Structures are given as C-alpha cells and as structure tokens.
Structure 1
Amino acid sequence: MNIYPDTTWSHLLAGQKHYFNTSENRNAFALGDALAELLLLLDPTLQRPRVIICIGTDRSTGDSLGPLVGTQLQPLASAYYHIYGTVHDPIHATNLEERYRAIQAAHPDGLIIAVDASLGGADQVGHATIGLGGLRPGAGVKKDLPSIGDLHITGIVNVGGFMEFMVLQNTRLSIVMQLAELISRGIMYGYYRAARRLPLIPHPLTALSTLEPLSP
C-alpha cells in the first residue's frame, strides 16, 4: 500500500511552506513527517545521496543556527545524511560558493537540504519552516549568494526589516538552541519515517495558520 503523498502536507507539494513552533515538543515529529513527505516526493526510492548543508557562522548568535544543527546531527545522522557545516567547520557567506561547488562535485546526484537562520515577523520568531526549493542564505549580508538546496529548513531567530546584521548579533541564544534542537530531531525523524514507509500519524498543527507562498 502506497501511503505517500499524504494530504496532510499537500500545501507543501503546492509550493508553500509550513511553520512549526518550538513551544510544542511534538512539532519535531510533525517537522519530520513533513520532511519525509518531501524526501519521497523528490526521491521515491531514497536512492539519491541526502546532503544537508547547514549554513551560518558561530561568530554571530542569530546566524549560528545552521552550524549548531550540523554539530548536533554529525554524530547521529552520518549514516543517513552527508552533513556539511558545523561549529568547527562552518559554511558561511565568505566560503559558501566555493564549498557549494565542492559539495556538488562530490555528490552530483545529491538531494540537498539547506538549513539556515532567517528573520521574520514578531509572531513568527521561534518557529521553524520547511518548504520545497532552495534558499538564498546570508540575511543582512550585502553579497549575491547562490540559491542552495532542493528543499530548505529555516529557523526564524529574530524580527527582520531593519539593521538585520545587528539584529542577528543581538539574538537570544536560547531561541537559537531551541530551534536547533527542533530541527535536528525533525531531520532524524524524517528519514526514519521515509525509509520505513510508516503511516503518517496525524499531529495537531500548532504552527502558524498563515501559509506563505515560496518566492520564485
């Protein structure tokens, strides 16, 4: 019996993204369910190498989300994902293009999941998002960076719109740590669900009700 795709996440297949609040522990499993849906959409047999690129730098509290996720995943998920970007070996605005070319050369058929911090509205802070398509990393960085990934996961660490570089520097570490925990657990659970073709368990959706279309 083919249980995918599941209509619970049909809006993701339509090019929208979903929000998951860190205040609900079960949302790590809900994020994993959504990731499983997208993994099987892009790679129904799970034969492509799964590559996670965690973007950011430990020199900025708000922008350290990606490296923290990569560091948490590296000892646990290396059997299931190729993981790039950690606190000890970050991928950031300065080295992103060079590192991305090397990763693409190493995994020419890789299914790339980009993870990065982002800024949003006041009611969105502390939420993780997932969606199809790449993201352009480097909030507040005056550099034309390439779009990264076949799908993306972001964590909204602070409010955007003004002096974003300074906002990232003055972000609370507790918010970043909560988001890193949610995202890393969701990524682990996502592969578990996809690999075993388990029926998706309905979860109360405590995320934001507004779904935002992805940018082209």
Structure 2
Amino acid sequence: MNFKDKFSREERRVSTEDPAMSDQLADYLIEWLPPSKEIVIACIGTDRSTGDSFGPLVGSMLHDQLLDTFHIYGTLEEPLHALNLKERLSDIHRSHVNPYILAVDACLGKSSSVGSVVLGKGSLNPGSALKKDLPPVGQIHISGMVNVSGFMEHVVLQNTRLHVVMQMAAKVAAAIQMTEAKRRKTSMETRPFQAFTAARPVIHKRIQ
C-alpha cells in the first residue's frame, strides 16, 4: 500500500468508470514494456485487508492464465506482503536473470482520484501509506487508488468496499491479458523475419 497524491509526467492514469479502461491501459503497457524481455509481475498486498487486496486479486486472476511473457508472483493464496517481501524479491532475482519487474499495489490518494489506476515509470514504495520501511519494487508500476489518504489509514483500508477493489483488479487483469496477447502476436510475427535475416548465405565455390 503506497501513496499517490500528485500527478507526474512519468505516469498515465485511467479510470475504472471508463468502458475503454482495459484497452487504454494495455496500450500504455505495450508502449512502455520492453518487447523482448520476459516480465515479472509482482502483485503486492494481503488478503487480510480489503483495501490492500488489490495486488493479490490481480495476481490470482492472472495466475491460472496461459501467459508466455509474464511471470506472476503474489496471489490470494500466496500473497507478497510486508512480512515476506524481502525474501520473495531475493527468490525472484535468483530465478530470473536481471528481471524487469512490473509492481502492482493498492494505494491511497485524494478523494477525487479514488477509482483511478496509475501506470508509472520507476519503482513504488510498498507500505509507505502505513509508514513501513520496505524495499522499493519495480522498474515500472501499477497503483490502484482504492481509498482516501490522510487519516487512520489502517481503518480506511479495512473499510474499503470490496466491490471497488474487485472491479479495479478485474480490469487491470484484463489489460495485462490483452498486453500478453499483443506481445505474443508481435513475437510470432518477428521471429520468422529474425530467423531469415540471421541466416548466413551459403557460398558455393566453383571447382576449377
């Protein structure tokens, strides 16, 4: 759970109220994610708090999908949270060489921003909304604005509507699935060309 109270040029915001939200977010992800790398998606949060369940919900929605270019960490069954974050990040770096990490986490912000999803460049600071000292995560991140910051954040998270979090998580998961489909299609279209251009011509010598 982190804070988002200012708009940055290095961010793109979409609203869950927009019917085209998943398509827009997928377009931004395609634009920002490196096309040739496998991406680790770190879905941060816990199922013990309604507001903080956004990340694990996204992870669970994606976990059983056939994803070729994404690796999912953090689900409702096996959450990626404050108590195990450092250890799980170490496991990720052992399992993947120089991983490119997309971090997914809930956040608190201004009342006018609740219901927005923010795609931002750079890492996010999980636990900052609750004043926890945790390592930054990700080269890029998705933050779901689930509620308002500024007063008794623990209580605010516990009293966040599950409907809001579920709707947001479903649309983000759909966007990531769309992104996967586009990345897979691009990869299949470029592989034959790369194989052809990489092949060396065979030169036959004339026998004198």
TM bucket by the smaller chain?
A: 0.7 to 0.9
Q: Name the structure 1 match of 2:80.
A: 91
Structure 1 residue 125 and structure 2 residue 119: aligned?
no
Name which one, 1 or 2, has greater alpha-carbon Rg. 2
Greater RCO between the two (CA within 8 Å, min separation 6)?
A: 1
CA separation in 1, counterparts of 2:86 and 2:154?
A: 20
The size of the alignment, in residue pairs, is: 180
- The alpha carbon displacement at 1:110 in A equals 1.5
| Identity score, percent | 46
Q: Which runs of 5+ in 1 are unaligned?
A: 1-13, 198-216
TM-score (norm 2): 0.81
Candidates 24, 27, 30, aligned match of 2:24: 30
| Paired residue secondary structure (1:154) | strand
Using the TM superposition, give the Cα deviation of residue 25 of structure 1 relative to its aligned residue in structure 2, in angstroms. Answer: 2.1
* 2:130 partner SS: coil
Residue from 132, 140, 153 that aligns with 1:151: 140
Is contact 2:118-2:143 (8 Å) kept?
Answer: yes
Superposed displacement of residue 77, structure 1: 4.3
* Structure 2 counterpart of 1:185, one-letter code: A
CA distance 1:119–1:73, shift in 2 (3 Å): same
- Whether the 8 Å CA contact 1:132–1:151 is kept in 2: the answer is yes
1:105 deviation in Å?
1.4
Secondary structure of the equivalent of 1:123?
Answer: helix
- Tell me, which stretches of 5 or more residues in structure 2 are unaligned? 1-7, 187-208
Q: 1:80 matched to which residue of 2?
A: 69
How much does 1:90 deviate?
A: 0.2
Superposed CA offset, 1:40-59 (max 9, x none): xxx24x1x221000000000
Could you tell me how far 1:161 is from its partner in structure 2? Answer: 1.3
With over 3 angstroms needed to count, the CA separation of the structure-2 counterparts of 1:160 and 1:77, relative to structure 1, is farther
Which amino acid in 2 is paired with 1:85?
G
* Superposition TM-score, scaled by structure 1 size: 0.79
Q: Distance in 2 between the 1:78 and 1:194 partners? A: 10
Query: d(CA) in 2 for partners of 1:183 and 1:95?
Result: 24
Contact 1:49/1:107 (8 A) holds in 2? no
Shift of the alpha carbon at 1:74? 0.7
What's the Cα RMSD here?
1.7
Contact preservation (8 Å) 1:49, 1:109: no
Matched to 2:58, the amino acid is V
